[in-house]
Amino acid sequence: MARTLPDATTSPGLDDPAADGSVTAPAPTSTDIVASEGGKGRTTIAESVVAKIASLAAKEVEGVDTLGGILSGAISGVVGRIRGDEHRTAGVGVEVGERQAAVDLSMTVRYPYPIHETAEAVRENVIDRIEAMTGLDVVEVNIAITDLSFDGTGSPGATGRVE
């Protein structure tokens, strides 16, 4: 007897199978992609998963301070305190198809890291992680540098030359 995963809209869980003993799997939503389909089943990956992979991959690169712009950073800070930091995908946009993905990132780079080298390292890491984890072909990663951050308690001109 074949069993599939529960459909949240029709079945409360695996303990409540249909009359014939099977449980239906949820249909993919418009934001899910089919990563593989074979004789023994189908795997779908949600766009939000691809966005999280891109977010984590970008943050792995030395020189990246934060993702997102000033406004999205403030909003994601509030959401992050509510939902937890691991859910942050502010500054990340993804578009996925059946076999390909495109990523848009906005980020702040820490001073004095070279912006072009940091952006290229982010691009390569995002592509490598998404392709390795999902099997999708990443066709482009567009990066917008929205700000430059400085270590310390403020901007570099916060303290004057004379006291």
* 100-144 residue pLDDT tens: 999 999 999 999 999 999 999 999 999 999 999 999 999 999 999
DSSP 20: T
Separation between Cα atoms, residue 121 and residue 127, nearest integer Å: 10
Superfamily of domain 47-149: Cation efflux protein, cytoplasmic domain (3.30.70.1350)
Q: DSSP string spanning 66-132? A: EES-HHHHHHHHHHHHHH-GGG--TTEEEEE-SSEEEEEEEEEEETTS-HHHHHHHHHHHHHHHHHH
Q: Please report, for the chain, the start and end positions of each structural domain, with discontinuous segments joined by +.
A: 47-149
pTM to 2 decimals?
A: 0.67
The dihedral through the CA atoms of 26, 30, 31, 37 has a sign that is positive
Residues 6+ apart with CB under 8 A from 137: 99, 100, 101, 131
* 53-108 residue pLDDT tens: 999 999 999 999 999 975 544 554 555 555 555 457 889 999 999 899 999 999 99
pLDDT of residue 44: 86
